[in-house]
Structure 1
């Protein structure tokens, strides 16, 4: 997502990467460790709890799965940056990690699109559209998003190759796009991974807020579950927009710079680096929001811990009983 990853980057401004090589690797490693721990915890709470997930929780658990896939790939990129953008792993790993990172960006926003539509239907059209708010359709929608994300990541998987530069003695994990392919890829990415989903999310969010204002008393007294879920989802949406909008804005500016509509400026390149690593932080922020804002998630986590403690206590009691029985038998002999 950063560095010399495309042979189309010849028009980009050069700037000193020394700070990136020093600061970014430890930052990415911290993000990776925290992201793996937090997202595994979220998936355990959603998947191991005896109560079936609601429609919104199905979407959020898939979002956690996408975040987990991202943070598992980040350590390779931390090492890539640490060695001055010198890829020391295999070409297949270069392709897979790049494709997974791209899939995360695509799938994450469309899981949020699905959850926004679900909240919109639940609060704005609660009766007429209740039939489509079923777990089966939610799982089907998630499967469709994963397949679509894989399709959109195929060009990344195909064209991401290792490229050795004799003048720098470095091996880059770069995108071997032509100029036309690069522009087409960027325009498609910006359109389908940013503009269209953000428009849908903003439309649903405005309608949700309007519905909450009009039916405040009803929501507080009758639909407390929907209100709690909506509060969590609005927080997750806000976090996503804060973390990912700068990244997509820099992509738009990068296309304008590449087509020479904008002049090359070092500030844009610095902003590109910062926005890329800010986007990674979203994969850690989501689980934190589940714990801090998600009242239903907190309840699920407490119930799961209580169940584990109960099972452990029961197992310890059975083990103690067996040991006592064994000692008694031995003494009798």
Structure 2
């Protein structure tokens, strides 16, 4: 925890220095080029890379894309959402989320009474911390007019960490919801489960999905110089029609379904079942129901807009090459960061309402027992 807390002063210094950096709008290239103008999708542009192998062996080599200035990419990179709304949202989420997630690690160590509770909430806090820390360089990127100055390797790392931790957070929340469902609705089955091996396998599956989400972002080029705009974008403009990037769209669609749609459906089912069974009890579980409902609503509000827009964006890319939803998706992503800074407070709220190892009787009308 001490190491995490020590990161905060350095991060604050970096964020303070952001406002002193000026966007260079006069950047030009001297190399000869013969580009083909293409509508950017993701946004998409046309590239002049030698080949995919050369790209992997030389990640720092400068590459260019050219875009049609009438497409949404120009308006997005220079617009108020990209240059002010998104970075300010990231700053707010980091200032609240980094210290609170660092604190929750110590809170779990002192208060949690079961290994499974520690593992799940530790996973969530760690994932949230990585997600928030990965936004630090993107704050500078957006304030700097969507101009990436930190190199290709750092762009790949930041992009990979973002996608990996968003899916990791959603999966972990789904596992917590499923565990609560088993304790409330299937208590006898829950007691028979080997909880330590189950927690270990759950952790393995969640982080396996994390790795699956970051691999494609680490193996393809993410930063490209846009000559007409005088900027170098990070992940926002990609040559999706080229062989090196052509599989990204179907791969990301698969990840959205496995990393968001499935966890969201699990959370909906688990929450509805828990609320129904507790409502049938003669004991007063209204405080727990209210807190559980609040947690579910916040999860839905933070993850549902970005998940829907992500799916709609890539489906429109596959069907008709339309990329106009990408800007809205980037704005909706800010809500995912807010969920990361709210998780610690929700965790403590739940712990005050009911102990994490509560065992419930599944028969309606049977008095509930607290072990």
| Alignment partner of 1:194 is 2:230 | no
Give the equivalent residue in structure 1 for 2:89: 27
Deviations 1:117-160 (A, max 9, x none): 11111111101331226244213311321122112221111124
Give the equivalent residue in structure 1 for 2:191: 130
Q: Would you say the 8 A contact 1:159–1:176 is kept in 2?
A: no
| Alignment partner of 1:204 is 2:270 | yes
Give the Å deviation of 1:24.
2.8
- How far apart in 2 are the matches of 1:212 and 1:244? 26
1:236 to 285, 288, 295: 295
Structure 2: runs of 5 or more not aligned: 1-39, 46-66, 357-371
Give the equivalent residue in structure 1 for 2:345: 288
1:106 to 164, 167, 171: 167
Q: Aligned with 1:45: secondary structure?
A: helix
Larger fraction in helix: 1
Give the equivalent residue in structure 2 for 1:43: 105
After superposing the two structures, state which structure 1 stretch, 147-156 or 177-186, moved more: 177-186
Give the equivalent residue in structure 1 for 2:241: 178
Give the equivalent residue in structure 2 for 1:83: 144
Point out the structure with max Rg over C-alpha: 1
Q: Aligned with 2:222: secondary structure?
A: strand
- How far apart in 2 are the matches of 1:141 and 1:127? 20
After superposing the two structures, state which structure 1 stretch, 52-61 or 88-97, moved more: 52-61
- How far apart in 2 are the matches of 1:182 and 1:278? 24
TM value normalised by structure 1? 0.75
After superposing the two structures, state which structure 1 stretch, 76-85 or 125-134, moved more: 125-134
Give the Å deviation of 1:236.
2.8
| Alignment partner of 1:273 is 2:330 | yes
> Across the two proteins, how many residue pairs are aligned to each other?
286
- How far apart in 2 are the matches of 1:232 and 1:294? 10
Q: Would you say the 8 A contact 1:124–1:207 is kept in 2?
A: yes
Q: Aligned with 1:168: secondary structure?
A: coil
Q: Aligned with 1:86: secondary structure?
A: coil
After superposing the two structures, state which structure 1 stretch, 167-176 or 288-297, moved more: 288-297
After superposing the two structures, state which structure 1 stretch, 199-208 or 169-178, moved more: 169-178
| Alignment partner of 1:251 is 2:276 | no
After superposing the two structures, state which structure 1 stretch, 93-102 or 143-152, moved more: 143-152
1:164 to 215, 225, 243: 225
- How far apart in 2 are the matches of 1:13 and 1:120? 44
Deviations 1:162-199 (A, max 9, x none): 21223322222235543742431232122112222222
TM value normalised by structure 2? 0.68
Give the equivalent residue in structure 2 for 1:329: none
Give the Å deviation of 1:269.
5.0
Q: Would you say the 8 A contact 1:161–1:176 is kept in 2?
A: no
- How far apart in 2 are the matches of 1:109 and 1:291? 19
Give the Å deviation of 1:285.
1.4
CA RMSD of aligned residues (A): 3.1
Q: Would you say the 8 A contact 1:243–1:281 is kept in 2?
A: yes
Q: Aligned with 1:164: secondary structure?
A: strand
